[in-house]
Amino acid sequence: MDPFKSGNLEPRRTVCIFACGVLWLVAVTVASGETPWRQVPLQDVQIKGEMGRRIDVTIENNILQIDISRDFLAPFQSRNQKGGYVGLGKLLDSIVRLAVHTGDPRLRELKDQIIREILATQEEDGYIGIMEPSSRMWSLWDIHEMSYLVYALATDHHFFGTEDSLQAARRLADYIISNWEAHPDNQPGGGSITVYMAVTGLENAFLLLSEEANDSRYKDFVVNFRKLPEWQARIVVGRHGQIEGHIYAYLCRSIAQLRLDDQQFDPRLWQASRQALDFLLHREGMVITGECGDHECWHDSQSGTINLGETCATAYLIRWLDELLRREKKSLYGDIMERVIYNGLFAAQSPDGRRIRYYPPFDGPRSYFSSDTYCCPNNYRRIVAELAGMVGYQTEQGVAINLYTAGQLKLRLPGGQVATITQRTDYPHDGVITLTVSLAQPEAFELRLRIPRYCEEASVKLPDQSEAVVVKGGDWAIFSRTWKDGDEVVLTIPMKLRLVRGRRAQSGRVAVMYGPLVFCLSRQAHADLKDVDLRLITLNPETLEGPFRDEAVHPGGLACRVKAWAPGAWYPHAPTNYTLKLTEFADPTGEATYFHVPNPYDPAFVEDELIVPTKDGSP
């Protein structure tokens, strides 16, 4: 079901596993020309745990509660605006995918109803949008809005085979092509921002439409007219000029380049992704919560205040990491994915699912976005709708488990039969994951498990073996054997609280982590912190204890406890003033994440493992 298949470039590399104290070298060849790993189809994945709960509340308390007729459809029926943005295509795309993933008839009916209403507004010339005639195409954000409608309608055709959706998408795309080719020098937004930011989403929409319609015209427009392979991408820090540093636009286009590279080998299509990886991992572009950017744009100060991590950038970061992982097959991308999902992403939504944030800062109070429309709420819904596809992948030789979460995957093995892999776990609140294989006939295949970088080594208990195998952190553990029905694998990832050193603006300070979870401090949960500047509190690291169960943020959640000195206290000899409870970063009342400590060079503190290069210097 994955529309983006075939092709890959990757040097040969070797993956090591340690088994029973003996080093086994397993040569894994990932050579050019091999296909990317494929997502397990959305309908074949069940997710429970906190990730599943987030999907559920996004459906029940958000998508099924918002006023789609008034807020989303009415502007398309009136078509009288001079500018603006709704995000109807993004909303539709999320509902189509969630309808596939859950099989929920309410979502299927909802997406069909929205499509009927959208198609009823399509004009003779193919236009679907919110603008008055004189503002079409060149006012912000008309092409952006149309592009996501093309994408969503093509997605509907992809999953449901709906011919009406495909024809409407083609007519709308033809409208864009004919108008742009007639005025090739026109700039959407009149040059106030870069063209590529103004038309974000166009390339992916047209590439998908080409596949769905089996018509290369849309791809040719992206390649030859929009010149996707020739994009001179560069990392611009800050928001200024034509806003060249816009992360969402950058990563969205980078994804389109990777997808195009599957069809036409061109090393230029990897340049933007390589630069972004270097900036995020080696030049302070990513913060501890997995978020990136300030005020929507690349940033490297590590300050984490008001405008940290636009939710659109967070959503596209996760999607881009999935695309990179499936092509380059590096477990690091999965490590970053789980960091950003459990922290930056889930902090962008109220725990009950109803409200969504534009920015979830780690320093200072957070606020919700005022509307259900616009970019961030809809890109949030879209990425939540896609998470199911990122749990596990179908590889050349079997299956790779990327995200640990209670649930089930049904996938086709290389030999052709369908296997079910069930995960029983409370991860990330606990490091024990039990995987059970169900299949009709015994079959030899390769099972890969992502062993996160935050642990030095983990253990895996295989069926029929008396002793657990030790595997190293920061790589895939690979098990090739003949599996039979009922085989059980128990992965134990050692997890303990760790204090992670801050960098740049957080120099001399530490954050508390447990596995991929970052903890934060809520002022509201502590009456004695009412008027205290939280940045001036000093933690006593020796008193850190936990984690323990705490349901303040979500069912089954975790918290930890630590004592701290008030601003100006004569530490370390004065008695501490506070006992602080730190909650998961998704705590909507969280206000502080990094804390001052008496000895910033305490050898017990660790560096952020996602940022530290491996021994061979690669990210």
Q: In 3D, which of 159, 263, 248 has the Cα closest to residue 210?
A: 263
Strands (E), 38-78: 38-39, 45-47
**Between 291 and 608, CB nearer to Zn ion:** 291
Nearer to Zn ion, 89 or 126 (CB): 89
Residue 375 or 390 with smaller CB distance to Zn ion: 375
458 binds Zn ion (CB under 5 A): no
Interaction between residue 73 and Zn ion (CB under 5 A): no
Q: Which two tokens stand for residue 46?
A: 């069940």
Q: Does 341 sit near Zn ion (CB under 5 A)?
A: no
Locate 129 and state its tokens: 């949008």
Report, in angstroms and rounded to the nearest whole number, the Rg of the chain calculated over CA atoms. Answer: 24
- Report the candidate in 161, 132, 166 with the shortest Cα–Cα distance to residue 149: 166
By the rule CB under 5 A, 251 interacts with Zn ion: no
Question: CA torsion, points 122, 124, 126, 132, in degrees to nearest 10?
Answer: -70
Q: Which is nearer to Zn ion, 59 or 376 (CB)?
A: 376
Phi and psi at residue 38, to the nearest 5°: -110, 140
Look up residue 557 and give its two tokens: 């959640």
86 near Zn ion, rule: CB under 5 A: no
Decide: residue 162, CB within 10 A, 0-12 exposed, 13-18 middle, 19+ buried: middle
Minimum CB distance to Zn ion, residue 22 (Å)? 51
Q: Shortest Cβ distance from residue 86 to Zn ion (Å)?
A: 13
Contacts of 174 (CB under 8 A, 6+ apart): 126
Least distance from Zn ion to the Cβ atom of residue 250, Å: 13
Task: Using the minimum distance from each CB to Zn ion, give the nearer residue, 44 or 310.
Answer: 310
Q: Tell me which stretch binds Zn ion (CB under 5 A): 17-25, 44-52, 309-317, 395-403.
A: 309-317
Q: DSSP assignment, residue 387? A: G
CB-nearer residue toward Zn ion: 212 or 310: 310
Q: Mark the segment that binds Zn ion (CB under 5 A) among 311-319, 326-334, 398-406, 583-591.
A: 311-319
| Contacting range for Zn ion; rule: CB under 5 A; set: 57-65, 153-161, 202-210, 305-313 | 305-313
Counting residues that bind Zn ion (by CB under 5 A) gives: 4
Min dist CB 516 to Zn ion, Å, is: 23
The three-class DSSP label of residue 538 is strand
CB of 222 to Zn ion, least distance (A): 23
Least Å from the CB of residue 369 to Zn ion: 9
SS3 content of the chain, % helix, strand, coil (to 5): 35, 20, 40
C-beta of 252 vs 411, nearer to Zn ion: 252
Q: Is 308 in the site for Zn ion (CB under 5 A)?
A: no
Q: Which of residues 393-432 bind Zn ion (CB under 5 A)?
A: none
Q: What is the DSSP code (8-state) at residue 612?
A: S
Q: Which of 482, 480, 461 is nearest to 470 (CA)?
A: 461
Question: Within 10 Å of residue 158's Cβ, how many Cβ atoms?
Answer: 21
Residue 494 gets which letter from DSSP? -
Our CB check for Zn ion shows the closer of 197 and 469 to be 197
CB 128 within 8 A of CB 137: no
Helix/strand/coil for 536: helix
Contact segment (CB under 5 A) with Zn ion among 90-98, 183-191, 230-238, 310-318 equals: 310-318
Say whether residue 297 binds Zn ion (CB under 5 A). no
* Helical spans, DSSP H, in 262-328: 271-282, 311-328
Cis peptide before 141 (omega within 30 of 0): yes
Token code pair at residue 319 = 């999607």
For residues 270 and 369, which CB has a smaller minimum distance to Zn ion in the complex? 369
Query: Closest separation between CB of residue 550 and Zn ion, Å?
Result: 31
Q: How far is the CB of 71 from Zn ion (least distance, A)?
A: 16
Q: Which is nearer to Zn ion, 386 or 584 (CB)?
A: 386
Q: How far is the CB of 313 from Zn ion (least distance, A)?
A: 7
- If the CB atoms of residues 196 and 221 are measured against Zn ion, the closer one turns out to be 196
In angstroms, the CA 473 to CA 104 distance is: 38
- Show contacts of 278-283: CB within 8 Å, 24+ apart: 278/619, 279/235, 281/610, 281/611, 281/619, 282/611, 282/613, 282/619, 283/235
- The letter for the amino acid at 609 is E
**Segment near Zn ion (CB under 5 A); pick from 63-71, 120-128, 298-306, 307-315:** 307-315
Residue among 90 and 339 whose Cβ is closer to Zn ion = 90
* Residue 312 binds to Zn ion (criterion: CB under 5 A): yes
Do residues 164 and 158 lie in contact, with contact meaning Cβ atoms separated by under 8 Å? no
Smallest distance from Zn ion to CB 374, Å: 7
Residue number, 40 or 146, with CB nearest to Zn ion: 146
- Give the nearest distance from C-beta 376 to Zn ion in angstroms: 4
Residue 30 CB, nearest approach to Zn ion (Å): 34
List the one residue out of 390, 388, 395 whose CA is nearest residue 412.
395
* Binding to Zn ion in span 363-392, by CB under 5 A: 375-376
Q: Please identify, among the stretches 211-219, 304-312, 392-400, 518-526, the one whose residues bind Zn ion according to the rule CB under 5 A.
A: 304-312
- The distance of closest approach from Cβ of residue 311 to Zn ion in the complex, given in angstroms and rounded to an integer, is 6
- Identify which of residues 248 and 565 has a Cβ nearer to Zn ion in the complex: 248
Shortest distance, position 154 Cβ to Zn ion, whole Å: 22
**Least distance from C-beta 380 to Zn ion, angstroms?**
9
Q: Which helix (H) or strand (E) holds 19?
A: strand 13-19
Going by DSSP bridges, is the β-strand pair 538-539/545-549 parallel, antiparallel, or unpaired?
A: unpaired
Our finding on whether 292 is near Zn ion (CB under 5 A) is no
Structure tokens at 78: 């009136």
Minimum CB distance to Zn ion smaller for 310 or for 584 = 310
Question: At 253, which amino acid appears?
Answer: R
Stretch 183-242 residues interacting with Zn ion (CB under 5 A): none
User: Which residues lie near Zn ion (CB under 5 A)?
Assistant: 310, 312, 375-376
